[in-house]
Homo-oligomer: A and B are copies of this chain.
Amino acid sequence: MPKKNLDTLSVNTIRFLSADAVETANSGHPGMPMGMADAAYVLWTKFLKHSPGNPKWFNRDRFVLSAGHGSMLLYSLLHLTGYDLSLKEIKNFRQLHSITPGHPEFGLTPGVETTTGPLGQGFATGVGMAMAEAHLAARFNKTNRSLIDHYTYAIVSDGDLMEGISHEAASLAGHLKLGKLIYLYDSNQITIDGSTEISFTENVGKRFEAYNWHVIEADGHDHEEIESAIRKGQAELDKPTLIVCKTTIGYGSPNKEGSSSSHGAPLGEEELRLTKKNLDWDPDAMFHIPDEVKTHFRSTVGKGEVLEKSWNEELEKFRQESPELASELDTMLSRSLPENLEELLPVFEPDEKGLATRKASQQVLDSIAAHIPSLFGGSADLKASNLTGLKDRGDFLPGSYEGQNVNYGVREHGMGAAMNGISLHGGLIPFGGTFLIFSDYCRPAIRIAALSKIPAIYVFTHDSIGLGEDGPTHQPVEHLAALRAIPNTLVLRPADANETVWAWKTALENEEGPSLLALTRQALPTFDRPENAPASMVQKGAYILKDASDGKPEIILMGSGSEVSIAMDAANELISKGRKVRVVSVPSWELFKKQPDDYKEKVFPPSVTKRVAVEAGVTLGWKQWLGKDGVVIGIDRFGESAPYEEVYKHLGITSENIVKEAMKLLS
């Protein structure tokens, strides 16, 4: 069979696997896979360096389907090129327990590099992957061996480019000169509501040139043009490349191509048959894969094995030539932490004056920067406030990628998604800082991390009204509750410097999802801890920081972060009144919920029904720890601009108020 016909057959196989799956599920998006099948085919068969038999081969090219609604395009390619994704799974598209969900999910489907669907996330996640590649290449390609040397590709859509996050990530990628980032933009001029003319008329190419991208136009159905464009993109190493592929959505459908009607619903039985006839396909065949097409695509498996074998040989030589560097690489690829991590961490002496937990956090970073080579992070233009610098580890700069300190700019959302990409790439532990209030700006990226079990670490400082004068626009009140609401998200709000140390340790050790540290701007006392309340108890989520002398309290005070010291003051006042008081520090609801019942009941004995919780935020959710009679002192309103001590007083987050509520309960 002449090559040209094999190309056509192959592309149409992708089209109809996709359209048939959507038709069978009676749900999904056929138009995008049909429109981008040509470009994806060229990319996957002529360029993509991967090994379907080992989707985790480290030096593979990364491919991101940012337009995640076109998931069937990716599933078709994965099946055809020989990933562990059977035709049965394709037939079970969008069904319970299949590995072919509506939108691609990392961790569920071999070969899916990241979870996409919420528009713009994939775009920005790919930027993180390219950052990771650039950084690791700078650190490990020091000999004549290019161990880390791959491209990051993505297919992005009009919708991706309308989202603000695409701006943040594209601007950052252009600034950083990430030349090995190549994005194929499916410019089909159609969105859900119709033509892009109704809302999206910007000059995308010019916009990306303004970001310092290399922009190429191509006919998205012309294989030679696409091939040439990708080659040009590969050759331009100082700029990311955007290939504007002019395509027709729903390509081949006589009545629906070029229209939004092919975007988000099955073609319909009759139209699907007409489309098959139109493209010279058997109208009765469903999920048909011509043998020659299968053979053609499946050659990828063998090619991948060869690539991988050759890379493994290089790695072996590298190990022999540069054993120390190789050992560092191994440490990083396995996300290993130092065995003596605890010894490396600072210990803070009791100190009534104390320090802000953000400052304790900086000291943690200072103490581990030289010992955890995989740390890679920074802040969204608040480094001096978030205190997220890695001492002596250099800056990650455009064209000079060896440093581990990243200047994200005022791009919280882009930073969050980039962290996802950095983590997914492997080899690095990403962290990023901003004010807690701006967790709202990166929330969709945090959600992707939670859903994908990505261990990104967020350093959210200025975590309450305690930031004072900047006022209600900058004072988070609802944010702790709103973040605790996200499944699989570890929120840690340490109460003093030593809890901060253990919060960091817990975050570093958590490989199952994002960890969010909520840290203060203002100084907090460093507690003089009783022997049975070491700061390592942070790992339990809640613990008895101070107890009644006989261990039989009549009332329990509890709180998180900066409010624990206020509760301690209240406890001392109550003790001076002859009361038997326990103080429970609650740095993490999620961790406490995982404890066995007997531990929970030890901390909160059901018999002690008098309880007061305090948090400088909304009261939502505290009720669950209060038993039937407990009360919570919180802030169910916005804050105030004033020196922080005055704001605390004005909003009633004071030891006096705790004592008052406690005495009410006790009387």
Residues in B neighbouring A409, C-beta threshold 8 A: 162, 191, 198-200
Interchain CB contact under 8 A, A207 and B211 = yes
Residues in B neighbouring A68, C-beta threshold 8 A: 473
The contact of A159 among B105, B200, B381, B646, by CB within 8 Å, is B381
- Cα A98 to Cα B441 with chains together (Å): 29
A536 at the interface (CB under 8 A from B): no
- Cα A385 to Cα B640 with chains together (Å): 40
Copies in the complex: 2
Interchain CB contact under 8 A, A487 and B481 = no
- Cα A451 to Cα B440 with chains together (Å): 15
A600 at the interface (CB under 8 A from B): no
Residues in B neighbouring A471, C-beta threshold 8 A: 94, 101-103, 105, 117
- Surface stretch bound by B, among A169-177, A306-314, A423-431, A559-567: A169-177
Interchain CB contact under 8 A, A410 and B163 = yes
A residues 169-203 touching B (CB-CB < 8 Å):
171-172, 174-175, 191-193, 198-203
Interchain CB contact under 8 A, B472 and A451 = yes
Interchain CB contact under 8 A, A473 and B411 = no
Interchain CB contact under 8 A, B407 and A198 = yes
- Surface stretch bound by B, among A55-63, A135-143, A549-557, A618-626: A618-626
- As a 0/1 sequence over residues 192 to 223 of chain A, the CB contacts with chain B under 8 angstroms (1 = contact) are 11000011111111110111100000000000
Residues in B neighbouring A97, C-beta threshold 8 A: 642
A647 at the interface (CB under 8 A from B): yes
Residues in B neighbouring A94, C-beta threshold 8 A: 469, 471, 641-643
Interchain CB contact under 8 A, B118 and A163 = no
Q: Among A408, A487, A627, which residue has the most Cβ atoms of chain B within 10 A?
A: A487
The contact of A411 among B163, B472, B624, by CB within 8 Å, is B163
Interchain CB contact under 8 A, B25 and A199 = no
- Cα A204 to Cα B620 with chains together (Å): 42
Given A171-B162, A623-B623, A646-B96, CB of A478 within 8 Å of CB of B485: yes
A residues 70-98 touching B (CB-CB < 8 Å):
94-98
A447 at the interface (CB under 8 A from B): yes
Residues in B neighbouring A522, C-beta threshold 8 A: none
- As a 0/1 sequence over residues 577 to 591 of chain A, the CB contacts with chain B under 8 angstroms (1 = contact) are 000000000000000
- Cα A482 to Cα B469 with chains together (Å): 26
A37 at the interface (CB under 8 A from B): no
Residues in B neighbouring A410, C-beta threshold 8 A: 119, 158-159, 162-163, 191, 200
- Cα A437 to Cα B116 with chains together (Å): 13
- Cα A279 to Cα B480 with chains together (Å): 46
A7 to chain B, nearest CB (A): 32
A382 at the interface (CB under 8 A from B): yes
The contact of A487 among B395, B408, B618, by CB within 8 Å, is B618
A443 at the interface (CB under 8 A from B): yes
A637 at the interface (CB under 8 A from B): yes
Interchain CB contact under 8 A, A473 and B485 = no
A627 to chain B, nearest CB (A): 8
Interchain CB contact under 8 A, B473 and A117 = yes
A19 to chain B, nearest CB (A): 16
- Cα A667 to Cα B621 with chains together (Å): 28
A319 at the interface (CB under 8 A from B): no
Residues in B neighbouring A202, C-beta threshold 8 A: 171, 174-175, 210-212
A650 at the interface (CB under 8 A from B): yes
- As a 0/1 sequence over residues 437 to 453 of chain A, the CB contacts with chain B under 8 angstroms (1 = contact) are 11011011001101100
A243 to chain B, nearest CB (A): 17
Residues in B neighbouring A647, C-beta threshold 8 A: 96
Given A200-B409, A204-B210, A473-B116, CB of A642 within 8 Å of CB of B487: no
Given A192-B385, A381-B159, CB of A212 within 8 Å of CB of B201: yes
Interchain CB contact under 8 A, A641 and B101 = yes
Interchain CB contact under 8 A, B118 and A438 = yes
- Cα A206 to Cα B206 with chains together (Å): 7
A168 at the interface (CB under 8 A from B): yes
Q: Among A95, A171, A174, which residue has the most Cβ atoms of chain B within 10 A?
A: A171
Listed by A's residue number, 7 A-B pairs whose Cβ atoms lie within 8 Å are A95-B641, A159-B381, A164-B166, A202-B212, A209-B210, A441-B444, A481-B620
20 extra A-B contacts, CB within 8 A, seeds A96-B650, A174-B201, A478-B482: A25-B469, A28-B469, A102-B470, A105-B471, A105-B472, A118-B473, A192-B381, A193-B382, A198-B407, A201-B398, A202-B211, A207-B210, A207-B211, A440-B444, A440-B447, A485-B620, A487-B637, A488-B637, A621-B621, A621-B623
